Amino acid sequence: MPSIYQYSKEELRSLLGSEPSYRVDQLWHGLWNEARSLEEITTISKALRARLVEQFPNSLTAVNDVASDHGATRKWVFQLEDGETIETVLMHYDERVTVCVSSQAGCAMGCTFCATGQAGFSGQLSVGQVIEQVMFATRAAAPSRLSNVVFMGMGEPLANYATTVEVIRRLHDYRGLSARHLTVSTVGVAPAIERLAHEGLPLTLAVSLHAANDETRNELVPLNRRYPLERLHRACATWIEVTGRRLSFEWALIDGVNDTESAIDELADYALDLNAHVNLIPLNPTPGYLVRGSSSERVHEFREGLSERGVNVTVRNTRGRSIAAACGQLAQVTNGKRRSIPVRSA
């Protein structure tokens, strides 16, 4: 049986056909408003709780739990029923608490600098499995309130389109998260971006650009061969036009590859034309990609260069590198199928 978070309220109502309606309301309130696990929903009887726990076992089992940044960053490895593993990262900042969720087990996109891409694809996640990551993190964050959900863990959210859309809808409708607090990061699946624009969903879109000339982007992001920069530009323009929202570009700075002066010019042209925000990420180390991230001086110069050209730009500070929890580092496995990254203690 799938996770209890797989179901809408109406579906739960019919699944629990013999229970009175107020019972379903209590269950729903406990699950969604209070983010409680089934065992903790004490407003319903012990007997019903026991029955539900048996009928809807958790779809995620935490098999590893590591912390760094003095406890401000925490990463879990979850095992799915089929033995595959995924990772989820919780980050406490001064003004917000963010969970970074996986949308797939692994990823089929094969970006060369990303550990998830190097390790390959093993399966799609269900709505319940993504929501359970959020709820697990919500409970772990307490007493702080989990405020933001970002789809920047394992996988390409727009290659698991229906699940991503449904998860966003539910987090908005049932948890009250708004567009500013829900971010989907995509490698640039152009037709899916256009389709997403028309869903009327409350979300912020981040596009992982990394290069603004096709030759370099083909090397870093193989999907660029299918949807080159001009095609991606059209999709981004549609997003902005239809949703009325700005989007941001992610750019992992790689020494000598995409941190050059010409890269600044190319990126500035591309971003200014779409009035997009640029997020620079110092490249995080991965085992399968033998280049270095740009030096902190170069990151600074790159940012200044963009800024001088009028681009709205920020540098994202890296969290959880020491526990392989940072962007692009998620590939931990326990079933031996995918490559594993050694985890050092913080």
Contact stretch for ligand SAH (CB under 6 A) within 17-25, 27-35, 211-219, 281-289: 281-289
129 binds ligand SF4 (CB under 6 A): no
Number of residues engaging ligand SF4 in binding (CB under 6 A): 12
Binding mask 192-231 for ligand SF4 (x = CB under 6 A): ----------------x-----------------------
Partner from ligand SAH, ligand SF4, none binding residue 250, C-beta < 5-8 Å depending on class: ligand SAH
Of the residues 100, 107, 236, 327, which is catalytic?
327
Per the annotation, the verdict on 107 as an active-site residue is: no
Task: Quickly tell me which residue has 């700075």 as its tokens.
Answer: 253
121 binds ligand SAH (CB under 6 A): no
| CA-based torsion, 242, 243, 248, 249: positive or negative | negative
User: C-beta of 29: minimal distance to ligand SAH in Å?
Assistant: 32
Question: Is residue 44 within 8 Å of residue 23, measured between CB atoms?
Answer: yes
What CA–CA distance (Å, rounded) separates 284 from 292?
8
User: C-beta of 252: minimal distance to ligand SAH in Å?
Assistant: 4
What CA–CA distance (Å, rounded) separates 80 from 103?
13
- Output 31 or 100, the one with its CB closest to ligand SAH: 100
341 binds ligand SF4 (CB under 6 A): no
Find how far residue 242's CA is from the centre of its chain.
Answer: 23
Partner from ligand SAH, ligand SF4, none binding residue 281, C-beta < 5-8 Å depending on class: ligand SAH
User: C-beta of 325: minimal distance to ligand SAH in Å?
Assistant: 12
Closest CA to 161 of 132, 137, 194, 136: 194
- Output 31 or 165, the one with its CB closest to ligand SAH: 165
For helices 261-273 and 296-308, what crossing angle results, to 10°?
A: 40
Phi, psi of 293 (to 5 degrees): -70, 160
3-state secondary structure of 265: helix
Query: At a CB cut-off of 8 Å and minimum separation 6, what does 166 contact?
Result: 127
Closest CA to 205 of 176, 159, 246: 246
Query: At a CB cut-off of 8 Å and minimum separation 6, what does 255 contact?
Result: 283, 291, 292, 293, 294, 295, 298
116 binds ligand SF4 (CB under 6 A): yes
User: C-beta of 29: minimal distance to ligand SF4 in Å?
Assistant: 35
State the greatest distance between any 2 C-alpha atoms of the chain, in Å, as a whole number: 68
- Output 305 or 328, the one with its CB closest to ligand SF4: 328
For 121, left (φ over 0), alpha (ψ -120 to 50), or beta?
beta
When binding is defined by CB under 6 A, the residue of 113, 121, 136, 270 that contacts ligand SAH is 113
The Cβ of residue 39 has, within 10 Å, a number of other Cβ atoms equal to 12
Which residues ranging from 171 to 200 are in contact with ligand SAH (CB under 6 A)?
185-187
Binding mask 308-337 for ligand SAH (x = CB under 6 A): -------------------xx---------
When binding is defined by CB under 6 A, the residue of 97, 99, 114, 333 that contacts ligand SF4 is 114
Number of residues engaging ligand SAH in binding (CB under 6 A): 16
E strand intervals along 19-131: 61-68, 73-79, 85-92, 97-100, 104-106, 121-124
Residues contributing to the site for ligand SF4 (CB under 6 A): 107, 109-111, 114, 116-117, 155-156, 187, 208, 328
